[in-house]
Chains A and B, each alone.
Chain A
Amino acid sequence: MTLRPDLAAIAAHVAPGSRVLDIGCGDGALMAELESASGCDARGMELDGALVERCVSRGLSVVQGDANLDLANYPDKAFDYAILSQTLQTATRPDLMLDELLRVGRRAFVSFPNFAHWRTRAALLLGGRMPVTRALPVSWYETENIHHVTVEDFRDLAKMKGAKVERAWFFSNEKQIGAPAANWRAEFAVFELSR
Chain B
Amino acid sequence: MAPAGSSPVYRIPHPLPLDSGQVLENADIAYETYGTLAPDASNAVLVCHALTGDQYLASPHPITGKPGWWERMVGPGNPIDTGRHFVICANVIGSCMGSSGPASLAPDGEPYAMRFPVITIRDMVRGLVALLDGLGIARLHAVVGGSMGGMQALSLAANWPERAARVLVIASTARHSAQNIAFHEVGRQAIMADPAWAEGDYYAAAAKPDNGLAVARMAAHITYLSEAGLTEKFGRRLQDREAKGFNFDAEFQVESYLRYQGSGFTRRFDANSYLYITRAMDYYDIAEEHGGKLANAFRGTQARFCIVSFDTDWLYPTAESRHVVHALNAAGAKVSFVELSAPHGHDSFLLEHDQLDRVVKGFVE
Q: Interface residues, chain A, CB within 8 Å of chain B?
A: 41, 43, 49, 52-53, 55-65, 70, 73-75, 78
Contacts and interface: CB of A to CB of B under 8 A. Distances in A.
B340 A61 contact: no
B159 to A, nearest CB: 23
A57 B336 CA distance: 10
Contacts of A60: 336
B338 interface: yes
A56 B306 contact: yes
Q: Chain A's interface: helix, strand, loop or mixed, by majority?
A: mixed
Interface string B331-365: 01011111111000000000000010011011101
B304 A49 contact: no
B336 A62 contact: yes
Contact of B362 (A41, A58, A64, A74): A58
Contacts of B365: 59
A49 B341 contact: yes
Given A41-B334, A59-B365, A64-B338, A53 B355 contact: yes
A56 B363 CA distance: 7
B330 interface: yes
Given A63-B329, A73-B325, 17 more contacts: A41-B334, A43-B335, A53-B340, A53-B355, A53-B358, A56-B306, A56-B338, A56-B359, A57-B361, A58-B362, A59-B365, A62-B338, A63-B337, A64-B339, A70-B329, A78-B329, A78-B332
A41 B333 CA distance: 11
Nearest to A58: B362
Contacts of A70: 326, 329
Contacts of B336: 52, 55-56, 60-63
Contacts of B358: 53, 56-57
Among A53, A62, A70, which residue has the most Cβ atoms of chain B within 10 A?
Answer: A53
A151 B270 CA distance: 69
A43 B329 CA distance: 10
A43 B337 CA distance: 11
Contacts of B355: 53
A49 B337 CA distance: 9
B338 A75 contact: no
15 contacts: A49-B338, A53-B340, A53-B359, A56-B306, A56-B358, A57-B358, A57-B359, A58-B362, A60-B336, A62-B336, A63-B325, A64-B338, A70-B326, A73-B329, A78-B332
Contacts of A58: 362
A147 B365 CA distance: 41
A60 B329 CA distance: 15
Contacts of B326: 70, 73
Contacts of A65: 322, 325, 337
A49 B332 contact: no
Contacts of A61: 304, 334-336
A64 B329 CA distance: 12
A108 B329 CA distance: 18
B73 to A, nearest CB: 15
A43 B335 CA distance: 8
Interface in B61-89: none
